[in-house]
C-alpha cells in the first residue's frame, strides 16, 4: 500500500514537471500597442511662429495671395492656429507665412489678427493682381429693348351747357282787348240763359 502511494506521487510529480517544461519552452508573444504620431506645431529656427488671436469677433481670418484685400483669398485660419512667418511688408501690416495652399507654399495674413514674438525681415511684395473683367452692356443692343412710352394728356373736365327749363307763357289772344277775359263772358252768358229759362217757365204757369 505504501509503495502504491509512492508511485502515484512520483508519477504526478513527473507529469507536472513535464507540463511546466512544455509551456516554458513556447515562444512568448506580447501585443504591442501601435503608436500614432500627433502633429504639433513648435517654434523653429526657420522663422517666427504666429498664433491667431482669441478674438470672438474674428473666429476665422482670411489668408490671401498678397498683402491686401484686393488679392485672392487662398485659405483661412482659426483661433489658436499657428504658422511660421517668413517676412513682413514695409509697414508691418501684413505678414508672409508658410501655407501649403498658397502660391509657392506661402500666404499673407493681416498682422492685427495674430500674435508673434520676434522680428521679421521685409520681403518683396507680389505684383498687384489685374482687375477682373466686368461684363459691359452694349448700349446699341440695350437701346433696342428700351420702350419709350409716349406721354398722354389727362382727361379734362368740360363745363356742361346750361340746362334750359321751359316756361309757360300766357297767350295774349286768350284775353279780349279791353282787359275782359273770355271766361267771364261765358259765365255771364250762362247766367243770363238761366234767368231767361226760369222766366219762360214762370209764364207757362
Give the domain CATH number at 99. 2.30.30.40
201 assigned to some structural domain: no
Instruction: Say if strands 60-64 and 114-116 run parallel, antiparallel, or are unpaired.
Output: unpaired
Residue 42 pLDDT class (50, 70, 90 cuts):
very low
Q: What is the pLDDT of residue 38?
A: 34
- Give me the number of domains the chain comprises: 1
CA 177, CA 186: separation in Å to the nearest integer? 16
pTM assigned to the model: 0.45
- pLDDT attached to residue 74: 95
Residue 135 binned pLDDT confidence (cut-offs 50, 70, 90)? low
Confidence of residue 37 (pLDDT cuts 50, 70, 90): very low
> What's the whole-number average pLDDT of the chain?
78
75 part of a folded domain: yes
CA 175 to the chain's CA centroid? 96
Q: Please give the full DSSP string across 79-127, using - where no structure is assigned.
A: TT-EEEEEEE-SSSSEEEEE-TTSGGGEEEEEGGGEEE-S---B-PPPP
Q: Convert the pLDDT of each residue in 92-132 to its tens digit.
A: 999 999 999 999 999 999 999 999 999 999 999 988 887 66
| Residue 79, Cβ density class (10 Å: 0-12 exposed, 13-18 middle, ≥19 buried) | middle
For residue range 157-181, list pLDDT tens digits in order. 777 778 777 775 655 555 445 567 7
Higher-scoring residue by pLDDT: 54, 28: 54
Asked, for residue 107, whether it belongs to a domain, the answer is: yes
Q: Are 88 and 94 in contact (CB under 8 A)?
A: yes
Q: What is the pLDDT of residues 24-36, one digit of tens each?
A: 666 554 444 444 3
Rounded Cα distance between 195 and 200, Å, is 9
pLDDT at position 73? 96
148 inside domain: no
The full DSSP string for 184-195 is: HHHHHHHHHHHH
Structural domain span for residue 108 = 48-116
The CA-based angle 151-157-162, given to 5 degrees, is: 155
DSSP single-letter state for residue 174: G
| Percentage with pLDDT > 70 across the chain | 72
Q: Is residue 25 part of a domain?
A: no
Amino acid at each position: 500500500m505504501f509503495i502504491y502511494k509512492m508511485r502515484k506521487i512520483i508519477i504526478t510529480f513527473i507529469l507536472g514537471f513535464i507540463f511546466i517544461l512544455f509551456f516554458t519552452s513556447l515562444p512568448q508573444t506580447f501585443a504591442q500597442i501601435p503608436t500614432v504620431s500627433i502633429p504639433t506645431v513648435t517654434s523653429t529656427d526657420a522663422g517666427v511662429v504666429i498664433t491667431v488671436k482669441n478674438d470672438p469677433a474674428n473666429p476665422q481670418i482670411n489668408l490671401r495671395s498678397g498683402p491686401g484685400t484686393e488679392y485672392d483669398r487662398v485659405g483661412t485660419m482659426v483661433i489658436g492656429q499657428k504658422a511660421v512667418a517668413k517676412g513682413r511688408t514695409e509697414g508691418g501690416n501684413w505678414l508672409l507665412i508658410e501655407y501649403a495652399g498658397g502660391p509657392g507654399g506661402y500666404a499673407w495674413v493681416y498682422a492685427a489678427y495674430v500674435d508673434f514674438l520676434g522680428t521679421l525681415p521685409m520681403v518683396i511684395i507680389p505684383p498687384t493682381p489685374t482687375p477682373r473683367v466686368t461684363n459691359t452692356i452694349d448700349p446699341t443692343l440695350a437701346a433696342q429693348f428700351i420702350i419709350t412710352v409716349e406721354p398722354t394728356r389727362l382727361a379734362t373736365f368740360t363745363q356742361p351747357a346750361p340746362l334750359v327749363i321751359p316756361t309757360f307763357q300766357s297767350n295774349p289772344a286768350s284775353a279780349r282787348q279791353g282787359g275782359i277775359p273770355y271766361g267771364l263772358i261765358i259765365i255771364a252768358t250762362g247766367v243770363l240763359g238761366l234767368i231767361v229759362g226760369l222766366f219762360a217757365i214762370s209764364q207757362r204757369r
